Homo-oligomer: A and B are copies of this chain.
Amino acid sequence: MGNNLTSRQQDYSQWYNDIVLKGGLADYSAVRGCMVIKPHGYALWENMQAVLDKMFKDTGHQNAYFPLFIPKSFLSKEAAHVEGFAKECAVVTHYRLKNDPNGGGVIVDPEAKLEEELIVRPTSETIIWSTYKNWIQSYRDLPLLINQWANVVRWEMRTRLFLRTAEFLWQEGHTAHATREEAIEETRRMLDIYATFAEEYMAMPVIKGVKTANERFAGAEDTYCIEALMQDGKALQAGTSHFLGQNFAKAFDVQFADKTNKMEYVWATSWGVSTRLVGALVMAHSDDEGLVLPPKLAPLQVVIVPIFSKDAAVREKINNIAAQMIATLKKQGIRVKYDDDDNTRPGFKFAEYELKGVPVRVTLGARDIENNVVEVARRDTKEKASYQLEGIEEKIVDLLADIQSNMYNKALKFRTENTVEVNTWDEFVRLLDEKPGFISAHWDGTGETEEKIKELTKATIRCIPLDSKKEEGKCILTGNPSTQRVLFARAY
């Protein structure tokens, strides 16, 4: 009756692929590096979108849509930006196919060559700031708070379902402000929104921090991030919020007249999360039986499975009980399904819903019904219990809330147990292999040392945590003086 998944112990990486594929989240496609997001995976993403979109709108942002294509020359206008993205972008060079006159099928029509090549957007700062130039004239046009839900393409050589794909879905916020302070405030506000979303909806604790110069977004003055810990002890960057300074305003000459009619360059932010979050959700919570989904995001929250007897009267009684439970649960906004398919055995259904990560399963058996009880199984702990039929719906609602907080607490406990302060290089190296997780250690603040540590251990500085306190210390590698600890880990 098992789901035949590779276990985490056996091969964590294979376990992840098994879950994504067999759990119906995604599939490989015929296009290198691109995946197909299957209905179950897409429903998860839709639930994430709905929550985030509301959070963005509640903080005054509006959605808009900008072109998929970016003229090659635009990408070059911000020096660091083109350096960061030029090496991994899909380039459109022609706009027509034709029949091969030599009978070789359909070929690219050499006469339909574009004057200027177009890049499939890897991110939209350049096309958006070229547009903002027309939208911003005066301080009255600011702040401009815009978000876009879109697909983007980065030609990654080593891809991984959800975590790193050539094409992915995301949202990218792009805001324009009159002052540096306002822009920084916005950058931090959106970081907080991401952290709240990760913790309250994904049940995934995150560390808020700022990236080192080496790890900054190409074109940013500062990149803030949220970092989560996966079950194998590797870190995963789950969202970023960038303070872009005036870099893009200068690149695209976007100035505004302030209240004294003086012209000033506009201050910018950008921030994004992507379908990578689906991968993070899987890696943070799932187990060897399949997906474990937090109730707030699960496409299906409750499944009711009848165990039918041959007695038609009992059957009808079970159907009636199910119908009433569903009506009551739906009224409370619970996503619930009654699976009365006669062609599939209950045991098979149980395994299937476990695989798919449905948080609560209710079983309606003939004998239980006679005793006015039902069996309720929770996916996170796999505990089962009998509950009185009377008032069962409230119990289920409470149980969903309990599962949500239990998942968060479990992940938080895991992170706490796998975050260690380290003061010597030997221990640093040893722990990375023996007890992978976050390592809080001193670093001398130079890009060279950071690079060297990465070369030697594959560990990177995930962030300088925002709540990290000043503390005298010595760099883990060089012994040079340091003023605060940073967070190291191997990462996805």
Q: Which chain A residues in 56-81 approach chain B with CB under 8 Å? A: 62-76
Give the shortest distance, in Å, between A365 (CB) and chain B (any CB).
26
A351 within 8 A of B: no
Residue in B65, B74, B95, B151 whose beta carbon sits within 8 Å of that of A30 in the complex: B74
In the complex, the answer to whether B67 meets A146 with C-beta atoms within 8 Å is no
Contacting residues, chain B, for A412 (C-beta < 8 A): none
Contacts A89-B95, A118-B90 given; does A31 touch B67 at CB 8 Å: yes
Please tell me which stretch of A10-18, A33-41, A374-382, A474-482 contacts chain B, meaning at least 4 of its Cβ atoms lie within 8 angstroms of it. Answer: A33-41
A452 within 8 A of B: no
Give the shortest distance, in Å, between A258 (CB) and chain B (any CB).
16
Residue in B29, B65, B151, B155 whose beta carbon sits within 8 Å of that of A95 in the complex: B155
Give the shortest distance, in Å, between A228 (CB) and chain B (any CB).
24
In the complex, the answer to whether A169 meets B65 with C-beta atoms within 8 Å is yes
Residue in B64, B118, B127, B153 whose beta carbon sits within 8 Å of that of A37 in the complex: B64
A27 within 8 A of B: yes
In the complex, the answer to whether B86 meets A63 with C-beta atoms within 8 Å is no
Contacting residues, chain B, for A74 (C-beta < 8 A): 30
A131–B31 alpha-carbon span in the complex (Å): 11
Residue in B42, B66, B86 whose beta carbon sits within 8 Å of that of A36 in the complex: B66
Give this chain's copy count: 2
In the complex, the answer to whether A63 meets B87 with C-beta atoms within 8 Å is no
A32–B39 alpha-carbon span in the complex (Å): 34
Contacting residues, chain B, for A399 (C-beta < 8 A): none
A413 within 8 A of B: no
Contacting residues, chain B, for A119 (C-beta < 8 A): 97
A134 within 8 A of B: yes
In the complex, the answer to whether B93 meets A91 with C-beta atoms within 8 Å is yes
Contacting residues, chain B, for A35 (C-beta < 8 A): 67
A419 within 8 A of B: no
Contacts A42-B63, A46-B63, A91-B94 given; does A167 touch B68 at CB 8 Å: yes
A117 within 8 A of B: yes
A98 within 8 A of B: yes
In the complex, the answer to whether A106 meets B89 with C-beta atoms within 8 Å is no
Task: In the A-B complex, list the 3 residue pairs whose CB atoms are closest, starting with the nearest.
Answer: A34-B67, A39-B62, A86-B97
A-B contact pairs, 17 of them (CB 8 A): A27-B134, A30-B74, A34-B69, A36-B65, A36-B131, A39-B62, A39-B63, A42-B65, A43-B63, A68-B167, A73-B105, A75-B97, A88-B96, A90-B95, A96-B155, A97-B119, A150-B151
Known: A31-B69, A86-B98. 14 other contacts (CB 8 A): A27-B134, A30-B71, A30-B127, A39-B64, A67-B167, A68-B153, A75-B97, A82-B106, A86-B99, A87-B97, A89-B96, A92-B92, A120-B120, A150-B151
**Which A residues are closer than 8 A to B by beta carbons?**
27, 29-31, 34-39, 42-43, 46, 62-76, 82, 86-99, 105-106, 108, 117-120, 127, 130-131, 134-135, 146, 150-151, 153, 155, 167, 169
